[in-house]
Amino acid sequence: MAIIQLTINNEKYEGEFDTNMPLLWALRDAIGLTGTKFGCGIAQCGACTVLLDGKAIRSCGITVQSSIGKDIQTIEGVEDSMYRSLQQAWIEEQVPQCGYCQSGQIMSAIGLIKSNPNPTEKQILDAMSGNICRCGTYPRILKAIKSFIKSNP
Amino acid sequence: METNGSRREFLKRTGLASGGLIVGLNFLESCVGEIVQNNTFPNLEPLQVLENGFDSIGAIEITDFLQIRPDGHIFLNLTKYEMGQGVSTGLSSILAEELEADWEKIHVRYIKSSVSESDTTGGSTSTLLHWDLLRRAGAFTKLLLIDAAAKQWTVYKDQCYAENGYVHQHGSNLKLGYGELVGSIVVPKDYRTLFAEVPLKYKSNFKLIGKNLKSKIIPDIVTGKHPFSIDVRLPKMKYAAVLRCPVFKGQLINFDSTEALNISGVEQIVPIKLDTSDNIRDGIAVIANSTWAAFQGKLALKAKWDLGVNAGVEHGKFVADCYKKLTIDEGTETLSIGKFDESEADEFISHSYEFPYQHHACMEPLNATSHFKGDSCEMWVGTQSADKIITNIEKHLGIPKERIKINCHPSGGGFGLRYSSEYALESMVVSKAAGGELVKMCYSREDDIKFDHLNPFELNKHRIGLKNGKPLSWELKSVMANWGGVLGWMYYNIPKLSASQIMVEGFTQVGAWRSVMANAEGFSTECFIDEVAHELNRDPLEFRLSLLPRNAMVDFKHSYKCNISRLRGALELVAKRGHWGKTMSKSSGQGIAVYPYMHGNGYGATVAEVAIVNDMIKVTKVTTAIDCGLVVNPDQVKQQAEGGVVWALSAIFYGGTEYIDGVVERSNFHDNKVLRIDETPEIEVHICQNDEPQPWGVGEVAGPPTYAAVCNAIYAATGKRVRKLPIARTYSQL
């Protein structure tokens, strides 16, 4: 346990954490940012995806210790960012059904667009293939990302 | 005649909160009961007057399901459970249509507790069961609002009309918002008759039903605010994980918690034990200050188990036994139409099809937050059967029903798994064992896979008797593990039918899995009929259509009669839109299938295209046609069909389970694979036009015909028949 400061959605959070705890559980249980979801715990499903210094990572696979000093962005911060329109594309295409995987899907999509603002369909599918959806919203995820790219060239 | 007395009576029966109008579901259902049974209206217990709308406490709260607040906002308390199938939006639109409400001012709330049968959710029945009730609720409430406005204006009622959340006066600019009117509502003495006879809108006047209204829950989902039960955070809440007996029906002998208690954050370790008749496994609960600490504590526990009767069960032997039973057991007859003499047929075709155990793997792992308080308790949970949770808690913990409060949350998938309520009872048992701590018990993904209530294994043998190339008889014999029963739905026009089932004991607990028995039987029936068509040198579509006489109704003795015109319509539509019979390139092919889903009276048909690309079996396109009766929201129907197709594709390629000594081997998404976005084909959904007077089921319609269409397409592409799922990903392993 140690007193640690994390920077999440441009805000500072200070608290006593088990430094070996995965960032996922620090976000959800200690800090209360529950928009980031627990799906598998072994970086296989993508439900817990957040941005770490702009890159999409699985927050279940990185410790609190490794997150210190990094810029952490979660789904809760998207509304106030330039990627608000990606959420709008998600609404426009009526992507989610149960919605549980969608925070992770959106964060993965932002990660992709940040690194490659104009991806091909193949690149989109490759980048999004780490995110599982059991409701089968994949065709609409693809549509929403394409539509965002089209209106944000 | 309207009197103050009758108004008071109504308020007692409906409750008036914060100046808003609340209409109770018990009240409404009783009214519907009267319509159906034409009986005397039952004496209703007066509903409590709530002090604080939806936030007040008390078991009666669930009965209050429609509230109009003074600011004009309207809240529908969902009595059907939202798990992604879209009831929040669909049911709201039915209510709003007749209420002439402003769609933007309609909101949904999740029910607080639940004791009535109407709160179970499953079988693709939510919309069809609530259609009439919600329309009447909307129309009835609209009339009360019009009455109130007419009184304020001292004009006749017929000088007023309702539109978009306001009552207007004809020939003037006067209007009153619904919120302004709720305080002055007066209820006529004969409100029961009014409810029963309230005029409903003609379909042609629908403004909301039939439109692609946007989901009421998606804005919260995309911002991470949708209130899943796993996200519950309460003061003084602890976190719990349970180490369960790895083999079903095994027992805990002893355990060592020394190392686990040394883990930072672990506070308490307690054994839990229950009557296995309700599928709860023996286990050891770790109570901690975070989910992570609880998971770590669980890993550090050392337990000794008596593994019990299922410890020696091997899948290979189990399957071999099932095939053997198929040959030697007669089974229990469940269907017999027409006496069949074998000598009447001049040819027989018979094949067996194996549908494996299937995992749910809902994205939100099972979880429930429970607070055991001795003589009462409270729970926060996503569930398809809150009533079953209440019954189970009463049975096992002795708390009377009226002192059990369940806060229902939407969930990250249900697919039938959340119809089983053991995880919820288990969390309450953990709370009790932990001395009444408020605990959020969460399954790890490994728990969620290993202790899943699997779709039962099912082996189906079909046999058809032919005379001069014409089907004369059909027999289905089914071997299934522990659960359900053979459906025996034969919609093709074959004079003599029989079905029988052989129930066997499987190794673990089983339960409902999206489309339930229609999966195995849709797969086997439609693969089989395709094989028969090919063996008779008939085109698979033409052969099917020749056995589907228009206007026929067939009674499977299951909820609704099978409407062959609608079934045929779906098949014809999918054949047209899916370009059945088009020229396909080498190593690719088309497959077709159709199947009814009688629990919800919906019909689905599929054309699948498969290509072998670099040895990989690729499903390149799936076209689906759905007949779900009157369409409430076309886009939501499409969503459900897309989901059903992806669900079936996962099961085709990655379904099944493996177990050794009664222990499920799969543990997470690396070995319990599901379809990913880069494997997903183009999916096209078409909705059949029809004159059905009401909506029918949607959610479980698209899956069953998908299995067979894909397998039949594999045959068309490769010449190899698939009679067992799951199948290999590559042609060379097929």
Q: What is the CATH number for A42? A: 3.10.20.30
Judged by CB atoms closer than 8 Å, whether chains meet at A100 and B675 is answered as no
Of A16, A45, A74, which one is at a domain's C-terminal end?
A74
On whether any CB of chain B is under 8 Å from the CB of A109, the answer is: no
Same domain, yes or no: A34 and A99 = no
Tokens of B577: 């839109």
Judged by CB atoms closer than 8 Å, whether chains meet at A94 and B265 is answered as no
The answer to whether residue B397 scores a pLDDT higher than 60 is: yes
Quick one: pLDDT band at residue B21, thresholds 50, 70, 90?
low
Which chain A residue has its CA at the smallest distance from B413's CA? A98
Same domain, yes or no: A97 and A51 = no
Q: Which amino acid is at A99?
A: G
C-alpha to C-alpha distance for B454 and B456, rounded to whole angstroms = 6
Q: Which structural domains are found in chain B, ordered by start?
A: 4-222 (3.30.365.10), 236-309+367-442 (3.30.365.10), 458-733 (3.30.365.10)
Q: Residue B674: its chain A contacts at CB < 8 A?
A: 132, 134
Residue ranges of B 658-697 with Cβ closer than 8 A to chain A: 668-670, 674-678, 680, 682-683
Of A74, A94, A112, which one is at a domain's C-terminal end?
A74
Phi then psi for residue B39, to 5 deg, are -95, 175
> What is the mean pLDDT of the segment spanning B148-167?
97
Of B362, B639, B683, the CB nearest to A94: B639
Q: Provide the CA A88 distance to its chain's centre, in angstroms.
A: 16
Judged by CB atoms closer than 8 Å, whether chains meet at B674 and A134 is answered as yes
pLDDT of residue B659: 93
The answer to whether residue B30 scores a pLDDT higher than 70 is: no
Same domain, yes or no: A51 and A93 = no
Judged by CB atoms closer than 8 Å, whether chains meet at A37 and B412 is answered as yes
Residue ranges of B 346-365 with Cβ closer than 8 A to chain A: 361-365
Q: What is the pLDDT of residues B281-310, one digit of tens each?
A: 899 999 999 999 999 999 999 999 999 999
Residues 6+ apart with CB under 8 A from A25: A38, B290, B291, B292
> What is the mean pLDDT of the segment spanning B94-114?
86
On whether any CB of chain B is under 8 Å from the CB of A17, the answer is: no
The answer to whether residue B507 scores a pLDDT higher than 70 is: yes
Of A21, A44, A75, the CB nearest to B223: A75
Q: Residue B676: its chain A contacts at CB < 8 A?
A: 129, 131-132, 138
Judged by CB atoms closer than 8 Å, whether chains meet at A91 and B230 is answered as no
Same domain, yes or no: A45 and A66 = yes
Name the residue with higher pLDDT: B637 or B391.
Answer: B637
Q: Residue A18: its chain B contacts at CB < 8 A?
A: 264-265, 290, 292-293
- Count of CB atoms situated within 10 Å of the CB of B134: 26
Same domain, yes or no: A43 and A88 = no
pLDDT of residue B55: 26
On whether any CB of chain B is under 8 Å from the CB of A4, the answer is: no
pLDDT of residue B53: 27
Of A16, A42, A74, which one is at a domain's C-terminal end?
A74
Of B222, B361, B650, the CB nearest to A102: B222
Range name among B56-60, B105-109, B220-224, B436-440 with the lowest pLDDT average? B56-60
Number of domains in chain A: 2
- Count of CB atoms situated within 10 Å of the CB of B115: 18
The answer to whether residue B29 scores a pLDDT higher than 80 is: no
pLDDT of residue B71: 82
Q: What is the pLDDT of residues B444-475, one digit of tens each?
A: 999 999 999 999 999 999 999 999 999 999 99
pLDDT of residue B40: 26
Edge-to-edge strand ranges of the sheet holding B64-68:
B16-17, B20-24, B64-68, B74-78, B106-110
On whether any CB of chain B is under 8 Å from the CB of A78, the answer is: yes
Judged by CB atoms closer than 8 Å, whether chains meet at B290 and A40 is answered as no
Contact B425, B277 (CB under 8 A): no
Q: How far is B705 from chain A (nearest CA, A)?
A: 16
pLDDT of residue B51: 27
Same domain, yes or no: A41 and A86 = no
Rounded CA Rg of chain A: 15
Count how many residues are written for chain A: 153
Residue with tokens 């796993």: B230
pLDDT of residue B112: 59
**Could you say which DSSP state residue B129 is in?**
H
Name the residue with higher pLDDT: B20 or B664.
Answer: B664
Q: What is the pLDDT of residues B581-623, one digit of tens each?
A: 999 999 999 999 999 999 999 999 999 999 999 999 999 999 9
pLDDT of residue B23: 59
The answer to whether residue B515 scores a pLDDT higher than 70 is: yes
Q: Cα torsion at B418, B422, B425, B431 (round to 10°)?
A: -100
Q: Which amino acid is at A34?
A: T
Q: How far is B702 from chain A (nearest CA, A)?
A: 12
> What is the mean pLDDT of the segment spanning B636-651?
98
3-state DSSP helix/strand/coil % of chain A, to nearest 5 = 45, 20, 40
Residues 6+ apart with CB under 8 A from B577: B607, B623, B625, B684, B686
Q: Residue B234: its chain A contacts at CB < 8 A?
A: none
Judged by CB atoms closer than 8 Å, whether chains meet at A94 and B218 is answered as yes
Same domain, yes or no: A58 and A122 = no
On whether any CB of chain B is under 8 Å from the CB of A76, the answer is: yes
Which chain B residue has its CA at the smallest distance from A132's CA? B676
Which chain A residue has its CA at the smallest distance from B265's CA? A18
Of A29, A39, A47, the CB nearest to B290: A29
Bridge partners of B286, per DSSP, are: B241, B269
Same domain, yes or no: A90 and A133 = yes
Residue with tokens 């992709």: A112
Q: Residue B226: its chain A contacts at CB < 8 A?
A: 99
CA atoms within 13 A on the CB side of A138: 31
> What is the mean pLDDT of the segment spanning B241-259?
96
On whether any CB of chain B is under 8 Å from the CB of A25, the answer is: yes
In B38-173, which ranges are continuous DSSP H helix?
A: 87-99, 126-153
Three-state DSSP at B524 gives helix
C-alpha to C-alpha distance for B273 and B242, rounded to whole angstroms = 11
Q: Residue A91: its chain B contacts at CB < 8 A?
A: 214, 218-219, 222
Judged by CB atoms closer than 8 Å, whether chains meet at A40 and B412 is answered as no
B137-169 burial, b if ≥16 CB within 10 A, otherwise e?
A: bbbbbbbbbbbbbbeeeeeeeebbbbebbbbbb
**Could you say which DSSP state residue B615 is in?**
T
- Select the residue from B221, B226, B646, B647 to test the A interface by mutation, using most A Cβ atoms within 10 A: B221
Name the residue with higher pLDDT: A109 or B136.
Answer: A109
Residue with tokens 């096209």: B684
Q: How far is B95 from chain A (nearest CA, A)?
A: 21
Same domain, yes or no: A6 and A70 = yes
Same domain, yes or no: A67 and A98 = no
Please give the residue range of the domain that contains residue A136.
78-151
Which chain B residue has its CA at the smallest distance from A131's CA? B676
pLDDT in tens, chain A (153 residues): 899 999 999 999 999 989 999 999 999 999 999 999 999 999 999 999 999 999 999 999 999 999 999 999 999 999 999 999 999 999 999 999 999 999 999 999 999 999 999 999 999 999 999 999 999 999 999 999 999 999 988
Judged by CB atoms closer than 8 Å, whether chains meet at A41 and B413 is answered as no
> In terms of Cα–Cα distance, which of B618, B635, B623, B614 is closest to B594?
B623
Judged by CB atoms closer than 8 Å, whether chains meet at B682 and A139 is answered as yes
Bridge partners of B621, per DSSP, are: B609, B682
Residues 6+ apart with CB under 8 A from A69: A7
C-alpha to C-alpha distance for B690 and B698, rounded to whole angstroms = 15
Of A34, A125, A135, the CB nearest to B413: A135
Same domain, yes or no: A31 and A47 = yes
Same domain, yes or no: A65 and A125 = no
> In terms of Cα–Cα distance, which of B316, B431, B303 is closest to B379?
B431
Judged by CB atoms closer than 8 Å, whether chains meet at A45 and B644 is answered as no
Q: What is the CATH number for A104? A: 1.10.150.120
Q: What is the mean pLDDT of chain B?
A: 88
Q: Residue B215: its chain A contacts at CB < 8 A?
A: 94, 96
Judged by CB atoms closer than 8 Å, whether chains meet at A1 and B670 is answered as no
Quick one: pLDDT band at residue B65, thresholds 50, 70, 90?
low
* Surface-to-core class of residue A81, CB atoms within 10 Å of its CB (0-12 exposed, 13-18 middle, 19+ buried): middle
Taking CA atoms, B122 is separated from B85, B197, B320, in Å, by 10, 30, 33
C-alpha to C-alpha distance for B263 and B296, rounded to whole angstroms = 7
Taking CA atoms, B401 is separated from B115, B386, B447, B543, in Å, by 8, 12, 29, 55
On whether any CB of chain B is under 8 Å from the CB of A51, the answer is: no
Q: Which amino acid is at B51?
A: E
